[in-house]
Chains A and B, each alone.
Chain A
């Protein structure tokens, strides 16, 4: 489409997309005000979403998502982009990135990283996140009735900085046998993630934001992060802000996880805390994750597992991936479809007979998906004009 026709189209669609502009796919300069991510374009009333199946259980779960969407008549078309993790060239991942830039939204499975390859081969998942500047990783861990777990009434929202910190991939061997790895913390990104956290907390009506850090040891780095959080907190007087050291946080999480509400933290601690919380509510098969940037959004399972050992055995738990696809639908503002599918998924999970092996049941993936489709059918035909 030429620039002029895009502008014309955007003019026509102005009432629907209030902050849409033809420059949306260019790297934007630093925005002085935080704006919400606009939903991407719809052509013919249908959205196009990039789908990266990934490795391990990724491809089969992606198939189930497509199946479910087709069954529910969701107006989403998937553009499948395969990323071959065994290839060392960056072509596959560049294609994927271009596809995501084109569509604005993506759903992905985890791409395996062979950590025996040399450092020049960066983790594909990491590359996606940093290139597209998906700075906020959001994971909402909630106790589900019907899922056996040691703790009840957990409702924690974890907001993790996704692009810098320990994951900067800046390492060098200064002297043979001595390796230095750099952890970068910047004021801009810390402010950005803190702002995102407080804004989300306010939108969702949450009362408390806890910053997780290790500033007693990493005084400058995490100290800067804390400072930024405190600065942003002052602009949200109705939300209680406190901070906690990461080791104490993990200890509190396994003894009394109900005390936490929203947690914001740099990259590595986010990795630890999100996995601990996912384990507390029932495991990696239940929690979806979302990665938001200023222009793009990427949805995946919360704990980013490849599940190599259970691949192709029809035993993987599809809940996390399917709930991630519901988050995707919410992002595309297809809220009715999202709630319908989510309700069906949750009713299947709480119906304890139909759990996959990771939750202690004997159901297979296809049985669970079938049960979800049955639940959707039972809920009645949906009519939606949009």
Chain B
């Protein structure tokens, strides 16, 4: 049936590189896997609670360890995440994060940046698949953006050379480029994707994007089963809004990745329904919802937990728990397709708890 075919397509897209589940004695106990849950701010706590309830209904073998990552000043005056949070992540290796607020004048850098630096989260993976039942002008979107997350334009190195002249430094290194290219091809191979496209602007930024491209080409040599193409950033943008079906896996440096991944999220319906995963060195992976904290609706039971839920499903696939992942995903998409119980941003008028309850009901019915 078309629905099943579409769902299996979705499954391929939303899955992350399947690894042999990294089992350490600390994280597995009685078959349960421990995951560090970072509820976040604003609507974070309510959507995290919703996700935990849904996982409970699905009888997923996950135990949650809630942690707060508000930065504290460590010894030596450097800002760092609280040691208990770090410890929890180090032992569980998998995290699920809600939206974090970046305070303007708190003196410490954004928490997302801190997490990224602490766990060396070098790859941001965002699969964008059209959701049946949530209509956008674009149908049949099925692509994955893989963005280098540590360097590039976001190195934060800026100087005011003389008054009125600012220089921002974009850093591209061989190692980071190779690492992200390798991850992209690995991901493509593990998720049965057919092509990888490197997005660049080497006609203008000859050395930096040229280096990135060269590394991608080198890595492509080792993955002859996957088609490798290169495309200019502007051509990708132009073609993406006209015909997004021509793209499969896209790999790119930081800034282009930021813009393109949000562009693709916009194609499928926005940040409220887009999952995202950050892969780090040493097997660490943090899955997150990429929308904001929505302080205006926090605490009012109006939030949409779909983004966090889909990221959690991505997490389940990463851990190899495909059955559970499929169950939850099916229930979620069926609820959205049905259009009877939808939160306000999806076009309905239900509350977050009602939406969650509906998904739990469907999961229980599926069993």
Closest to B152 in A: A181
Within 8 A of A (CB), among B249-303: 255, 258-263, 265-267, 269-271
Which of B162-170, B310-318, B343-351, B354-362 participates in binding chain A?
B162-170
Contacts of A24 in B (CB 8 A): none
On whether A150 and B167 interact (CB within 8 A), knowing A171-B206, A181-B172, A218-B158, the answer reads no
On whether A167 and B234 interact (CB within 8 A), knowing A150-B138, A251-B263, the answer reads no
Residue A183 interfacial (CB < 8 Å)? yes
Residue B222 interfacial (CB < 8 Å)? no
Whether B203 pairs with A173 at a CB distance below 8 angstroms is no
- In the complex, A150→B172 CA distance in Å? 37
Residue A180 interfacial (CB < 8 Å)? yes
Contacts of A166 in B (CB 8 A): 153, 170, 201, 204-205
Bitwise, B132-170 to A at CB < 8 A (1) or not (0) is: 000011100000000000000110101110011111111
Contacts of A248 in B (CB 8 A): 262
Tell me, rounded to whole Å, the shortest Cβ–Cβ distance linking A119 to chain B.
4
Whether A255 pairs with B166 at a CB distance below 8 angstroms is no
Tally A residues with Cβ within 8 Å of B. 62
Contacts of B203 in A (CB 8 A): 113, 115, 123
On whether A279 and B168 interact (CB within 8 A), knowing A113-B203, A177-B174, the answer reads no
Residue A259 interfacial (CB < 8 Å)? no
Bitwise, A233-256 to B at CB < 8 A (1) or not (0) is: 000000000000011101111110
Contacts of B258 in A (CB 8 A): 214, 246-247
Residue A8 interfacial (CB < 8 Å)? no
On whether A186 and B204 interact (CB within 8 A), knowing A247-B258, A275-B238, A276-B241, the answer reads no
Q: Which of B136, B234, B271 contacts A272 (CB under 8 A)? A: B234
Residue B4 interfacial (CB < 8 Å)? no
Whether B160 pairs with A220 at a CB distance below 8 angstroms is yes
Bitwise, B208-224 to A at CB < 8 A (1) or not (0) is: 11110100000000000
Whether B167 pairs with A182 at a CB distance below 8 angstroms is yes
- In the complex, A183→B161 CA distance in Å? 12
Contacts of B169 in A (CB 8 A): 180-183
Whether A169 pairs with B166 at a CB distance below 8 angstroms is no
Q: Which of A119, A126, A186, A269 contacts B166 (CB under 8 A)? A: A186
Closest to A284 in B: B238
A-B contact count (CB 8 A): 175
Residue B171 interfacial (CB < 8 Å)? yes
Residue A1 interfacial (CB < 8 Å)? no
Q: Which of B102, B153, B209, B241 contacts A279 (CB under 8 A)? A: B241
Q: Which of B136, B168, B242 contacts A221 (CB under 8 A)? A: B168
Contacts of B211 in A (CB 8 A): 177, 179
Closest to A170 in B: B167
Contacts of B266 in A (CB 8 A): 250-255
Contacts of B156 in A (CB 8 A): 217
Tally B residues with Cβ within 8 Å of A. 57
Residue B233 interfacial (CB < 8 Å)? yes
- In the complex, A169→B258 CA distance in Å? 22
Whether A251 pairs with B262 at a CB distance below 8 angstroms is yes
Residue B229 interfacial (CB < 8 Å)? no
Bitwise, A167-197 to B at CB < 8 A (1) or not (0) is: 1010111001111111111111000000000
On whether A178 and B234 interact (CB within 8 A), knowing A172-B207, A252-B266, the answer reads no
Contacts of B210 in A (CB 8 A): 115-116, 119
Residue B25 interfacial (CB < 8 Å)? no
Tell me, rounded to whole Å, the shortest Cβ–Cβ distance linking A305 to chain B.
7
Contacts of B207 in A (CB 8 A): 119, 171-173, 179, 181
Q: Known contacts A187-B164, A216-B102, A251-B263; can you find 11 more A-B pairs with CB under 8 A? A: A150-B138, A166-B205, A169-B204, A177-B211, A179-B172, A183-B170, A185-B168, A217-B153, A224-B166, A250-B260, A279-B239
List chain B positions with a Cβ less than 8 A from chain A: 102, 136-138, 153-154, 156, 158-160, 163-175, 201-211, 213, 233-235, 237-242, 255, 258-263, 265-267, 269-271
List chain A positions with a Cβ less than 8 A from chain B: 113, 115-119, 121, 123, 126, 150-151, 166-167, 169, 171-173, 176-188, 214, 216-221, 224, 246-248, 250-255, 268-269, 271-272, 274-276, 278-280, 283-284, 303-305
- A-B contacts, 11 of them at CB < 8 A, read A150-B137, A166-B153, A167-B204, A171-B208, A176-B174, A181-B170, A219-B158, A247-B258, A251-B266, A255-B269, A272-B237
Please list the 6 inter-chain residue pairs (A to B) with the smallest Cβ-Cβ separation, ordered nearest first: A187-B164, A251-B266, A279-B241, A247-B262, A177-B174, A150-B137
